[in-house]
Amino acid sequence: MSRTTMRDVAREAGVSIATVSRVVNGVDAVAESTRRRVLEAIRRLNYSPNLVAKSLVHRGTRNVALFVPDIMNPFFPAIARGVADAVASEGYTVVLCNTDDSTEPGPHFERLLRGNFVDGAILCGTAWDAAPLSELIPADLPVVVMDRRVPGLRADSVEIDNRLGGLMATRHLLDVGCRRILHLGGPVGVSTAEGRLAGYLEALCSGAADERDAAEADSDLITRGPFRAESGYSRTRAALESGLSFDGIFAANDLLALGALQALRQFGRRVPEDVAVIGFDDIYMAALALPPLSTVAQPTYRLGTIAGRMLMDRLDRSASPAQPPAHPQPEPKRVVLEPSLRIRESTRRERVQGSEEE
Ligand code: RIB
């Protein structure tokens, strides 16, 4: 018997060979109904040119994609470890994709998700919009959103309470006597950055009466930019060069705080005596910094394991393209975890009550 060819599949599905090829390679967008017709023809004819086509028919690559914005930020490998452990127990492997802080999912996103290289995906994007994302994600491909929210996207999600984290960090700086707190914020529109800024503002507006009177929520003290060390360095340096007066820094992540420490050192400012500094995340480098960096710790590994388990749960319930769902898909779940304070030398000016000391 001769081997089934792409031409046979095209004839069976009533489409062109080019369309079959597009479905197999996942290069161009193909209408969902056409894609399903082609997959059905592939299954009927048992067409199996390679592993990718096999996975198209059986919907089982045993790979899941994890999209992160910055693979160089140690926060994300820590999360990836949690995801990998959670999915490995079910026989899955993680395909790690770095979006490099791109504000759109990008062509490799579409190729990976529509090309049937993975069975599901965990997304941590940079202010990605729900509408284009929903267009790109195949209807039967389970997706979980992690760390950064995508309002309007129907998907399970797991994140921390970023507003609470911003509140804790700023209140801690107020507690150790800071009254002009520079905020090194993250990019505009990214939910984690917006939440942390909201917490900062809330702490300045709702502190004890003596703090409220003395502390200032001055727009000059708020800067926004990438979550990167170079940005923390250049923004702190610019603030120092401009003569802006500040006695505390709340950086929206630890990389920004590490950059700030370097600029303060170069300008001869003592930490914490002249400027107390607190970051966010508790990456492993925070404890190694000079001086060791106070921070708002995220339960990073747990974020990853929860995201991984959420995805495994959806995969268990999802059906093959040709069959009705084995179990109906429940409504999307949203899990919000709490951050915690880690106080180290960079803010240790005096005894602080009610804080978790390391
Ligand atoms: O992408 C940078 C930041 O976003 C991380 O450092 C972490 O705080 C995450 O929420």
- Please indicate, yes or no, if residue 1 is contained in any of the structural domains: no
- Please indicate, yes or no, if residue 353 is contained in any of the structural domains: no
Q: How far is the CA of 253 from the centre of ligand 1 (A)?
A: 6
Residues 6+ away with beta carbon under 8 Å from 31: none
pLDDT, tens digit (0-9, with 9 covering 90-100), for 155-211:
999 999 999 999 999 999 999 999 999 999 999 999 999 999 999 999 998 865 555
Write out the two tokens for 302.
């747990």
Judged by DSSP in three states, 125 sits in coil
Residue 15 is part of a domain; what is its CATH number?
A: 1.10.260.40
Residue nearest to atom 2 of ligand 1 (CA): 227
pLDDT, tens digit (0-9, with 9 covering 90-100), for 319-349:
444 445 555 678 899 999 999 999 999 999 8
Look at residue 52 in the predicted model and tell me its pLDDT: 53
Q: Are residues 124 and 93 in the same domain?
A: yes
Look at residue 21 in the predicted model and tell me its pLDDT: 80
What number is the average pLDDT over the span 124-137?
85
Residues with CB under 6 A from ligand 1: 69-70, 73, 75, 147, 192, 227, 253, 280-281
Q: Are residues 71 and 188 in the same domain?
A: no
Across the chain, mean pLDDT equals 87
Q: Are residues 304 and 293 in the same domain?
A: no
Q: Are residues 206 and 234 in the same domain?
A: yes
Write out the two tokens for 243.
């003569």
Per-residue pLDDT band at 104 (split at 50, 70, 90): confident
Look at residue 48 in the predicted model and tell me its pLDDT: 63
- Cα(86)–Cα(92) distance, integer angstroms: 9
> Considering the chain, what percentage of its residues have pLDDT values greater than 90?
60
Write out the two tokens for 95.
């395909």
**pLDDT value at 121 more than 90:** yes
Judged by DSSP in three states, 173 sits in helix
Per-residue pLDDT band at 133 (split at 50, 70, 90): confident
Scan for tokens 């994007």, then name that residue: 125
Q: Are residues 266 and 238 in the same domain?
A: yes
Write out the two tokens for 298.
């995220």
- Please indicate, yes or no, if residue 128 is contained in any of the structural domains: yes
DSSP states of 220-236: GGEEE--SSHHHHHHHH
- Please indicate, yes or no, if residue 29 is contained in any of the structural domains: yes
Q: How far is the CA of 247 from the centre of ligand 1 (A)?
A: 24
Look at residue 54 in the predicted model and tell me its pLDDT: 45
Look at residue 51 in the predicted model and tell me its pLDDT: 47
Residue 317 is part of a domain; what is its CATH number?
A: 3.40.50.2300
Q: Are 13 and 41 in contact (CB under 8 A)?
A: yes
Look at residue 326 in the predicted model and tell me its pLDDT: 53
Residue 41 identity (one-letter amino acid):
A
pLDDT, tens digit (0-9, with 9 covering 90-100), for 223-254:
999 999 999 999 999 999 999 999 999 999 99
Residues 6+ away with beta carbon under 8 Å from 314: 120, 142, 144, 156, 329
**Lowest-confidence pick of 91-105, 122-136, 308-322:** 308-322
pLDDT, tens digit (0-9, with 9 covering 90-100), for 2-27:
557 788 888 999 998 888 887 876 65
Residue nearest to atom 6 of ligand 1 (CA): 253
Look at residue 2 in the predicted model and tell me its pLDDT: 56
Select from 68, 75, 124, 162 the residue to mutate for testing ligand 1; criterion: most ligand atoms less than 8 Å from CB: 75
Look at residue 31 in the predicted model and tell me its pLDDT: 85
Q: Are residues 173 and 148 in the same domain?
A: no
Residue nearest to atom 4 of ligand 1 (CA): 192
Select from 71, 72, 98, 147 the residue to mutate for testing ligand 1; criterion: most ligand atoms less than 8 Å from CB: 147
Q: Are residues 180 and 304 in the same domain?
A: no
- Please indicate, yes or no, if residue 352 is contained in any of the structural domains: no
Task: Count the domains in the chain.
Answer: 3
Per the structure, the complete domain to which residue 14 belongs is given by 6-49
- Please indicate, yes or no, if residue 54 is contained in any of the structural domains: no
Q: Are residues 236 and 327 in the same domain?
A: no
Q: Are residues 286 and 168 in the same domain?
A: yes
Look at residue 247 in the predicted model and tell me its pLDDT: 97
Beta strands in 99-242 (DSSP E): 120-123, 143-146, 156-160, 181-185, 222-224
Look at residue 210 in the predicted model and tell me its pLDDT: 59
- Cα(205)–Cα(200) distance, integer angstroms: 9
**pLDDT value at 53 more than 70:** no
Q: How far is the CA of 297 from the centre of ligand 1 (A)?
A: 11
Scan for tokens 């899990």, then name that residue: 335
Q: Are residues 253 and 326 in the same domain?
A: no
- Report strand pairing: 294-297 vs 63-68: unpaired
- Please indicate, yes or no, if residue 282 is contained in any of the structural domains: yes
Q: Are residues 31 and 64 in the same domain?
A: no
Cis peptide before 107 (omega within 30 of 0): no
Per-residue pLDDT band at 1 (split at 50, 70, 90): very low
**pLDDT value at 140 more than 60:** yes
Per-residue pLDDT band at 125 (split at 50, 70, 90): confident
Which contiguous run of DSSP H or E holds residue 191? Answer: helix 191-206
Q: Are residues 35 and 74 in the same domain?
A: no
Cβ count within 10 A of residue 303: 23
Comparing 273 with 321, the larger pLDDT belongs to 273
- Please indicate, yes or no, if residue 358 is contained in any of the structural domains: no
